[in-house]
Amino acid sequence: MITTRADISRARRIVVKVGSSSISGVNSGQIEPLVDALAAAHSNGIEVILVSSGAIATGMPYLGLESRPEDLATQQAAAAVGQNVLVYRYQDSLDRYGIVAGQVLLTAGDLDDPNSRSNAQRAVDRLLSLRILPIVNENDTVATHEIRFGDNDRLAALVSTLIGADAMVLLSDVDAIYTRPPEIPDAERISLVAPGEQLSGVEFGEATRNGVGTGGASTKVSAARLAAARGTGVLVTSASRISAALSGADVGTWFAPHLNE
């Protein structure tokens, strides 16, 4: 079992989640260094699953939209266009390493239904056994408000449990979880969150509303707690530090997994 961040480099199976704002718009160029890090882990024999947001954000310019649409139908339309472009960008970058991506789109209902859940698990396991890199996203084109995951941090946690990941890495624009919003001068990085630790006194800012993303520190903490409670250690850090994160460097915030007695 992976119990510390230093152990990440020897994990058997890792889920990496990246947020919309980190790989779309002006940051679309960050896909290549992200792929560089994933390919390095892949070449070391680690089974890597990428949970990637960004379908809606990537599709927005093609629909002439400057901000994330509020209505479900337009979100679905943007996702239909953007998912195709997003996976193409990943595959184009992965081609440099001879790695093939496999697209996996899920809804919350898929993971609630035992049959669909079993099918999803079997499909991902088979992709990994074939050395394919699964790229998972919420199926925004068919999801409704009532059955959505809410954010892909939670989706990543559920996928980690589904496929028995040793570790999960949640990437955003912020390098760690802080005691207060990081733009406040006296904010301090939280290096370690022990199993069951309540983080009392920690102040989270509002969920990100930067025109493309929907998550924030609180969603990452919730998702990290969910995965850690089920035995998967979680590192929260920034997309720019993915290479260091996968090498086991002392970056980000580590949520230690609950150990089964």
What gap in Å lies between CA 22 and CA 20, rounded to an integer?
Answer: 5
What gap in Å lies between CA 173 and CA 242, rounded to an integer?
Answer: 11
Q: Is 152 annotated as a binding residue?
A: yes
Contacts of 49 (CB under 8 A, 6+ apart): 13, 14, 15, 16, 124, 128, 133, 134, 136, 159, 163, 165
The encoded tokens of residue 132 equal 């394919």
Q: DSSP H helical segments within 31-113, as ranges? A: 31-43, 55-59, 72-94, 108-112
β-pair type (233-238, 253-255): antiparallel
Task: Give the single-character DSSP code of 178.
Answer: B
Q: Is 44 annotated as a binding residue?
A: no
Q: Is 175 annotated as a binding residue?
A: no
Q: Is 137 annotated as a binding residue?
A: no
What gap in Å lies between CA 257 and CA 49, rounded to an integer?
Answer: 19
Annotated binding site for ATP: 17, 172-173
Annotated binding site: 17, 53, 140, 152, 172-173
Annotated binding site for substrate: 53, 140, 152
